[in-house]
Amino acid sequence: MGLLNSLHFALAVLVTTTAAALAATEAQTKRGCNDTCGNVIIPYPFGTSKNCYYRDELLDFFLNCTTTTSPSSSGEATTTQLIWGENVEVVSISLDPPELTVSGDVTKQCNYSSDILFWNSMTFGEFSISSTKNRFTVVGCDTYAYFSDLNSTFRTGCSLSCSNETRFEEAGACSGVGCCQTSFPQAIRNYNITLYSFDNYTDVLDFNPCGYAFVAKEGSFNFSKRELRGLSNRTQFPVVVDWAVSNQTCREAKKDAKSYACKQNSRCKESVSGIGYYCVCEDGFRGNPYLDTGCKDINECDGDNHCNKKCHNIDGNYTCLCPWGFKGNGYKNGSGCKFPFTEISLGLLVIFTLVSILCWANKQRALKQLRRQYFEQNGGNYMLQQLHQQQGYTNRTKIFTEDELKIATNNFDESRILGHGGQGIVYKGILPDNSLVAIKKSRVGGDSRQVKDFINEVTVLSQINHRNVVKLFGCCLETEVPLLVYEFVDNGTLLDHIDPLKNEHSLSWETRLRIAAETAGAISYLHSSASIPIIHRDIKSTNILLDHNHIAKVSDFGASRLVPLNETQVSTVVQGTLGYLDPEYLLTGQLNEKSDVYSFGVVLLELITAKKPYEFLGLEQKNLATYFASSMEEGSLLEVIDKRVLNQKNAELLNEVAFLARRCIRVHGEERPTMKEVATELEGVIAMKKHPWVKGEDMMSKECECLLGHAAANTSVGYDGAYGNISANTFAAYESIQKQMAFEIVDGR
């Protein structure tokens, strides 16, 4: 086989030999024998001189190391080659796996050749070409080539045809267009390559003057269209050959100890080509298995191992020493190290068990003490005392555990927050029976007044059973802050529905009137129908909840007070919300039922005007109750009433409700009506709304004409579509309303 004459192949050899050099410490040869030839390392059983290679009747392990000198442009060039058999150049030798990498020639046929048939053959003695690491490759566009053994027991090959217009794959892909690769059977000890051209490359001469066929190590050739012009001037490719030390199987070879090639600390393996066997070092050893002392022990303690503390190397393995006082294998899992004294171990186990039990008992005692501390801190004893005094109501209030409420609120996740009240945060909860509840987490923090507010809400709600009052289900006191569980009302607060900034779709006047009547009825019930009169003390639009049918539910009883039956008022610290707070209560600190009447009157004003009860306008403060009263006295009520509910149908009803609200917000509590009177009047207004006189096309009865004036009966209500303002014709109709209101104010109605 010729010398290397391609730069590409020289680079491939350099990479291969460099890799072989890294394994030099493992690739040993016999003492006194050459272990290299040029850059190629020669391990035993191969050798280059007598007694340096393994002898077998059929297999040839002798290699010839030759050095040649040839002229070059820069002088003389010296080339060292390792030749095996019939002039086969060896590039590298591997013991495991047992492989030779040799140089294989490229079969080439060109347009300028007179012969239409070219061939090339190669033999490997008793060794075989690797069928898994080599590929038969054909390159060309007017080419036919086949691969066979010298005895022609099989044949495989490729036929290629293409033109300059053919679309070739990206570089590196030998996919059948201009380049074809195929595999061949195992145990092929020789081969012949035959190459043809169909038309002597006449039609493709401008880009493919020659055809090529060769066997090459897989991955050593990457095809691209430019290879059709000259195969990058390469004439050789690396070929992998499988070798074995005998044509026997391992079982057969072991019968003859004298000829058996595997030495100490090694084992036999069947050849990958299916012919013969080869040797490898046992696990824990490394080196040359064909030499008497070639497989040497690996010191596992120098690298990663599974020892817990101290590693001890032994032949082919290692052992782990146990810590002081223990014995066994000392592996990291500790399963091999055992304490030598059973009785001491048992004693330590008993001590450990006792300590664990004592720690557990102490922890349980601490938890129990902490829960009791929270129970007392949250007013549990006071609540039990209050509930005990209310016979018949105790069974209505359930004591929930903290775990139950954590599950119901997804551990009090922020996404479950419904709102922030004056006495705490309200979460949406789902009980195990899938019923929805609202859970209030009180802001107690050790403040005794807030604790009483919380307990007060529990005791107040536990005795209330009214359809327009939020129902209490129970509470939890074993947490740092107390928790209340009550009925879930799903449609927000009254303020959410009447505030123009929060809701574009306003409630109708009929719905507002009904909500007012339901709220008044609930407060009247608290004042006069509960077993012990209850003053809510914080009536406001945000404490009036609405369900999906807009049914009113009075909520938030944290500030409420029970009034003994023999008393009409209670002295207490002033508490309430700015804008709703009774001015008389604010001055005197004397709480009575008329304080709730005043707050409800402000809620009526919100329903009528859709304005906030208290606003800061720069440095100026605006109180809705004062503003409303002055508007009535000045005859400018129309400027205050919510234009979304004002029309000729509602004129009389608005008049009635406005006067009722005005009476509720009088400064002197004795001049205000009771909540029972307020509820009765609102029910009367609703009944008047349903009276036949106020139905029909006329919209106005004679009674309305007397109240509003004759002129109002002949006017119509109009609206400015762009701004929702009442038209000029409407002002004339409502002028009489204002005069009548002024009259009634003077009259003391």
Kindly give, in sequence order, each residue whose CB lies less than 8 Å from that of residue 115, ignoring residues fewer than 6 positions away.
109
Catalytic residue, from 538, 556, 596, 642: name it.
538
Burial class of residue 688 (count of CB atoms within 10 Å of its CB; 0-12, 13-18, 19+): middle
What does the radius of gyration of the chain's CA atoms come to, in whole angstroms? 52
**CB-based contact 116:198 (threshold 8 Å):** no
Residue 446 three-state SS: coil
Length of the chain: 749
If you ran DSSP here, which 8-state letter would residue 58 be given? Answer: S
Residue found under tokens 């690491």? 133
Burial class of residue 737 (count of CB atoms within 10 Å of its CB; 0-12, 13-18, 19+): buried
Closest CA to 149 of 133, 136, 132: 136
**CB-based contact 241:128 (threshold 8 Å):** yes
Angle at 449 between CA 445 and CA 450, to 5 degrees: 45
**CB-based contact 576:538 (threshold 8 Å):** yes
Residue 538 among the catalytic residues: yes
Spatial distance between the Cα atoms of 285 and 95, rounded to a whole number of angstroms? 14
Closest CA to 444 of 480, 484, 494, 396: 480
Start-to-end CA span in the chain (Å): 130
Spatial distance between the Cα atoms of 570 and 565, rounded to a whole number of angstroms? 11
If you ran DSSP here, which 8-state letter would residue 119 be given? Answer: E
Burial class of residue 575 (count of CB atoms within 10 Å of its CB; 0-12, 13-18, 19+): middle
Kindly give, in sequence order, each residue whose CB lies less than 8 Å from that of residue 612, ignoring residues fewer than 6 positions away.
499, 579, 606, 624
DSSP assignments along 283-348, one per residue:
TTEEE-TTSTT-EEE--GGGS---BSSEEEEETTEEEEEPPTT-BS--BTT-TT-B-S-HHHHHHH
Instruction: Give strand pairing partners of 267.
Output: 280
Chain centroid to CA 685 = 58
Phi–psi pair at 102, nearest 5 degrees: -120, 170
Chain centroid to CA 184 = 51
Q: 80: how many CB neighbours lie within 10 A of its CB?
A: 13
What are 527-531's contacts with CB under 8 Å, separation 24+?
527/593, 527/596, 527/674, 527/675, 527/676, 528/674, 528/675, 528/676, 530/463, 530/464, 531/390, 531/463
Kindly give, in sequence order, each residue whose CB lies less than 8 Å from that of residue 461, ignoring residues fewer than 6 positions away.
469, 470, 471, 472, 486, 557
Catalytic residue positions, numbered: 538
